[in-house]
Structure 1
Amino acid sequence: MLAIVFIIALLVVSSPASSSAIPQAHERRWSRPVVTIDNGPISGIHLESFDQDVFLGIPFAVPPTGENGLRFSNPVAYSESFPGTGHDGSAYSYSCPQYGPFAVGVGAPANQSEDCLTLNVVRPSGSFDENLPVLVWIYGGGYTAGATSDPVYNLSYIVQESANMGKPIIAVSMNYRTAIFGFIASQEVVDSGNSNLGLKDQRLALHWVKKHIGAFGGDCNKITIWGESAGAYSVGLQVLAYGGKQSGLFRGAIYESGTALATYQDIDHYQPLYDAIVNATDCSSSPNTLQCLRTLPYETIYNVSATYGFTPIIDGDFIPDWPSNLLETGQFDTDVANLIGANTDEGSATFFGWSGLNTDNEMISFLSNSTVTGLNISSGLAAQLVTAYSSDSLDGVPFGFVNEGINLTALGQLYRKSASIAGDLFIIAPRRYQCEVASYRGAKVYSYRFDQTPYIVPGFILGSLPLNPTHYSEISFVFGNPENLTDPYESYLGPSSNGNQALSSKMMRSWISFVAELDPNHDTLGETWPDYGYGPINMVFRDDGCYTEADDFRAIGIKLLNDHPKELLH
């Protein structure tokens, strides 16, 4: 994905590394919109084609850099007065440091910076009788990458749709630290109280929204958080944060292809990675290795940590226990309403599905190898899983493809079975588990299955497989991006003749209705979407008609997965 680009018809403007000019088509020639918060005035820009006011790159935390000693430290709220005449909100900030195929600006570190903890606000122009509900986006990217400046995450279309349907909302997006900068983990880190920094960045941004969104016309009591993939896992962890005891920041949560359950690790897993980085940076002789890492040049940390993957850990603080235990015992915010879903072929994503397996015995051996999978599956449980899923070469992921001349067995004779297990393990079974547990605890829950073949999916997600409703496929539909933004990793709807834009409108309207009323039903959906608590039902999204289904497919396999959270997902 390109880091920060000019797009004439979209909400994408220049980064601090490029020209500060604003596309003339979107300037408010008579004045710029101004909002004043405790820190001072914020000058935004007006997008004439959307009739929206946009405020970009607003700092919510003191830059957590090596220069000021706040690297690898809990975020500190930005409390200073804006310099000069106030904050210039006409451009996105830099992206946080990131790595891997999800990264924005890979190979272009100039577009990345430790000084990145900012957020953006998009609101419809005009006056309204009351404050507007607020939708807060948390990007995905495997906890290694992601940025609010990614053109795919342009919030203008969903805000425009909300105005068109008479339920206007305000949308917010936040940058948070990823990879080692956001999730460095070790005994030293936990003992110092500085674990899960990326999640705490998100939390501080939510406190900012709660405190300041009223100045933009938002209702601080009607906030919904929203994420996909690692962003959805983040949403789940925000609902579980501190055992659900520090709530009140939001009333709704939207999870796309992720829940509170994932392959989280504890300190023992990450300590060797931390020690390797300490040794590689000559910090091993320091009496305080974490402080030594804080003082190193940014480039040193960035380069030496590129091969090390850090993600959230069970720290006894922000995440006080394994999420499965927290859910099972009701230690989460049960007052939050939930919209939770997954895509039909989640397991076909290159980073989920397992290839090269040709026999049941090979699959059992693979699944029970914790060194390879990072899971704790016994050979007995692996054998049960292999038996529970179909071995029919024409069945499994991608579920909609029978043959069509595509040689899926090139990925292994049992690829479709292995991808089915992987998709259920990482995404679909946890989605069902969290729906069941949240409903049982009295929370409002709506569940969906996205079953539409998209117009395009980034190659690093799909690999050589045919187009199918894989991981990330719904993104262009919920953001309503109609066209290619010249980005090779882009996902967009394509021409209106393919039906995607009509389905996108239905999905956006469900998300908007949920933000506004905590109920995703609306006039154009076509069928009533029931609360999961009245019976396990999914809304299925397809361009040939949305419909409800019983959430009981692959019952034996998914129950087997959900009955063993300690061995599988935590």
Structure 2
Amino acid sequence: MVLLLLSVVALSLGLGIAPVAAQNNTKHLDYASYRGYDQANGVSFWKGMRYAAAPTGSLRFAGPQDPDVEVEVQDATTDGARCIATSTYPIPSTQSEDCLFLDVFAPTNATDLPVYFFIQGGGYNSLSNADYDGTGLIEASGYNIVVVTFNYRVGPYGFLASQEVEESGSLNNGLKDMIKALQWVQKYIHAFGGDPGHVTIGGDSAGAGAITLLLTSYDGSGKLDNLFHAAAAESQSFGPQLTVSQSQFQYDNLTERTGCADASNTLQCLRGLDIDTLQQQNIATPFPNGVDAPLYPYSPTIDHDLVSDYTYALFGAGRFMKIPVIFGDDTNEGTIFTPHSTSSVAEADVFLRDNFPAYTDSQLATINSLYMSQPDAVVYPNAGTYWRGVSNAYGEIRYICPGIYISTAYNNFSTSSSSDFVPSWNYHYAVLDDSAITSGYGTQHTIEINAIWGPEYVSGSAPASYSTTNAAIVPVMQGYWTSFIRAYDPNTYRAPGSPEWRPWGADKQRLFIRTNETQMETAEEAQLERCDVVQGMAVLLEQ
């Protein structure tokens, strides 16, 4: 009978059918009871738990509210729907406007363990790391952490901004969803064996960008200090940050396309639309004077409250939370974003201005001189002669240079302040596989996430090499990350044989990560010089 039950459970997991929940792991919260699943490997999970009310109807474009009370015990063995992405129609069956759910993974019978709270990426217009499985990280930690993943609103549902939204709705709701989920952790994670006094936030791309916004939230006043205590950001994304007035065109375009422009109350009209009608018009459109739509049309807005200023300006002024942090990037951050056919400087400039509309001709000329003074030295298959040049520019402008800037800001604070040293670590991820070398994509944006979570625990397809020639990098990355989650230091519990990861300082040393070659390196002087120029333009570019 036991063998038969185990076979049924294994079959149900393999087929994606909800597994049979254990009867003794139901968690009774003050608004609902959730029955999860105890895996045979010693890790339990609870999936699809509401952390906020459904943001539908009158709550569309409103800040997150407390979840409704549920009388019946809720099944928590399958993931909740993901939030709806921009430019996606028909709406996939896996996406819904009712999407504010989270998952918890914990060692079975865990008690007071450090918590890893992961913020997924997707450019604030989609959720690109949904439904990750925390089992691998927990196993790598020696069953010493609890992992929380969650959904937050994206696109106009999370980041629509205008005078109307400011007056009768709520700005930056995607960020407020993150804060609501962190508040849920503070209130409820103890029931799942987590310690609310030991929370490390992590994230990649827009999720890492969100970390920088949380670190500088409310003008760096420390209003969120009790919600998290360390942060690890992978490929932090710094796109343009618009004000409410600068964002008005997006709202006006949306009301025009949906037929709400002539309504006496345009926001009420938008809230009253059925989701299919609204989503059909949730499309990317160019910035004013742009040629093509930007990669990510909606993003956090400067609201002079939660987001008080440009992120560069806040870090430059020391207005950020002083907690242990990791920042880092991949060698070829820009290659997956830029037009593969880019064959001239003029084409490159159109792309850059479409995505950073504040660029002046003079600034673009400077960028061209740094990155595209001549055609690419190597032209890859089916690629234009300036593809790698514009990719290098975009990668450093949006990802690499901001990471270096923030690490330096932490170091400057630590060396100029009389308070205790605040450690900051920086990394350069450079793991390669044959196909990426041949295609020219190289070590692309956020590829390290496959090593951190483990290639079998991500929801997408990890590179095949992470299970073969690059398999050795997985325990190295998991060792650093789980050590940081547990001890706020990537070295305390790092994998045996891994080099010590020294903090970023005046010597500009960071961890160079490559299979069997991981070691400390000094950041390349030429890259630092380019970043000095890029960083000098950042506030003018509204980053």
TM-score by length of 2: 0.87
Corresponding residue SS for 2:124: coil
Out of 355, 360, 368, the position equivalent to 1:378 is 360
Render the CA deviation track for 1:175-208: whole Å, top value 9, x for unaligned. Answer: 1011111111111112335011111001100011
Q: 1:93 to 1:148 in 2, by over 3 A?
A: farther
For 1:226 and 1:279, how far apart are their aligned partners in 2?
38
Gap change, CA 1:116 and 1:284, over 3 Å in 2: same
User: After the TM superposition, which of the residue ranges 89-98 and 544-553 deviates more from structure 2?
Assistant: 544-553
- Partner residue, 2:291: none
Q: Distance in 2 between matches of 1:378 and 1:115?
A: 41
1:451 maps onto 2:464 in alignment: no
> Per-residue displacement from partner, 1:69-127 (whole Å, max 9, x unpaired)?
1111011122x43222x232111111111135xx7xx7553322221111110001245
* CA distance in structure 2 between the aligned counterparts of 1:91 and 1:409, rounded to whole angstroms: 42
* Partner Cα distance (1:365, 1:114) in 2: 36
Q: How has the CA–CA distance of structure 1 residues 452 and 348 changed in structure 2, closer, same or farther, with 3 Å as cutoff?
A: same
Q: How many percent identity over aligned positions?
A: 27
The one of 153, 156, 160 equivalent to 1:177 is 153
The answer as to 2:283 corresponding to 1:306 is yes
Equivalent residue of 1:109, what SS? coil
Answer yes or no: is the 8 Å Cα contact 1:185–1:313 preserved in 2: yes
Matched, 1:560 2:533: yes
Task: State the partner residue of 1:42.
Answer: 34
Q: Which amino acid aligns with 2:39?
A: L
- Higher mean C-alpha deviation, range 383-392 or range 426-435: 383-392
* 8 Å Cα contact 2:476-2:495 kept in structure 1: no
- Deviations, residues 255-275 of structure 1 (Å, cap 9, x unaligned): 11115x332222343212211
**2:170 paired residue number:** 194
- Measured in 2, the distance between the counterparts of 1:56 and 1:72 equals 25
Judge conservation of contact 1:34–1:42 (CA < 8 Å) in 2: yes
Deviation string, structure 1 residues 488-514 (Cα, Å, up to 9, x no partner): x5225546441x222111101101111
Question: Over aligned residues, Cα RMSD in angstroms?
Answer: 2.9
Q: Which residue of 2 aligns with 1:435?
A: 407
* Distance in 2 (alpha carbons) for counterparts of 1:147 and 1:408: 27
Q: Following TM superposition, by how much is the alpha carbon of 1:352 offset from its aligned partner in structure 2, in angstroms?
A: 4.1
Question: Counterparts of 2:341 and 2:120 in 1: how far apart (Å)?
Answer: 28
List alignment gaps of at least 5 residues for structure 1: 1-5, 396-402
Query: CA 1:544 to 1:373, structure 2 compared with 1: closer, same or farther past 3 Å?
Result: same
Q: Residue 276 in 1 paired to residue 256 in 2?
A: no
Q: Report the counterpart of residue 57 of structure 1 in structure 2.
A: 48
Q: Is 2:450–2:466's contact at 8 Å kept on the other side of the alignment?
A: no
Letter in 2 for 1:543: T
Change (3 A) 1:421 1:219: same
Q: Is the 8 A contact 1:353 1:422 kept in 2?
A: no
Partner residue of 2:79? 92
Are residue 476 (structure 1) and residue 450 (structure 2) matched? yes
Counterparts of 1:444 and 1:467, CA distance in 2: 32
Shift of 1:211: 1.4
Offset at residue 425 of structure 1 (A): 0.6
Map residues 115-514 of structure 1 onto 2, 5 A cutoff.
115-127=98-110, 131-146=112-127, 149-150=130-131, 153-163=132-142, 168-192=144-168, 194-245=170-221, 246-247=223-224, 248-259=226-237, 261-308=238-285, 309-334=297-322, 336-349=323-336, 351-352=337-338, 355-358=341-344, 362=346, 366=350, 370=353, 372-389=354-371, 391=373, 407-408=379-380, 411-442=383-414, 443-454=422-433, 465-482=439-456, 490-492=461-463, 494=465, 496-498=467-469, 500-514=470-484
Taking a change above 3 Å as real, the CA distance of residues 569 and 193 of structure 1, as seen in their structure-2 partners, is: same
What's the counterpart of residue 417 of structure 2? none
Per-residue deviation, residues 215-245 of structure 1 (Å, max 9, x unmatched): 1111111101111111111111111111122
Return the letter of the residue paired with 1:293: L
Q: Quick check: 1:188–1:290 contact (8 Å CA) kept in 2?
A: yes
Instruction: Evaluate the alpha carbon distance shift between residue 76 and residue 454 of structure 1 in structure 2; reply closer, same or farther with a 3 A threshold.
Output: farther
Distance 1:337 1:193, change over 3 A: farther
Deviations 1:156-177 (A, max 9, x none): 11111112xxx61000001101
The one-letter amino acid of 1:71's match is R
Distance 1:295 1:519, change over 3 A: same
- Pair 9,437 (structure 1): closer, same or farther in 2 beyond 3 Å: farther
Contact 2:63 2:176 in 1 (8 A): yes
CA distance in 2, matches of 1:436, 1:7: 50
In 2, distance between residues paired with 1:566 and 1:195? 21
Looking at structure 1, the residues matched to 309 and 250 of structure 2 have their Cα atoms a distance apart, in angstroms, of 22
In the alignment, which residue of structure 1 is the partner of 2:293?
none
Are residues 9 and 348 of structure 1, via their aligned partners in 2, closer, same or farther at CA, if it must alter by over 3 Å?
farther
Structure 1 residues 455 and 410 mapped into 2: Cα distance closer, same or farther (>3 Å)?
closer
Tell me whether 443-452 or 266-275 shows the greater mean CA deviation: 266-275
Separation in structure 1 between the aligned mates of residue 531 and residue 81 of structure 2, nearest angstrom: 41
Match in the other structure for 1:111: 94
Distance 1:122 1:279 in 2: 44
1:410, distance to aligned residue in structure 2 (A)? 5.1
AA in 2 matched with 1:241: S
1:21-61 CA distance string (max 9 Å, x none): 42x6xx65xx341222222432111121x321101111111
- Evaluate the alpha carbon distance shift between residue 94 and residue 430 of structure 1 in structure 2; reply closer, same or farther with a 3 A threshold: same
Q: Does 1:545 align with 2:517?
A: yes
Tell me by how many angstroms 1:321 deviates.
1.3
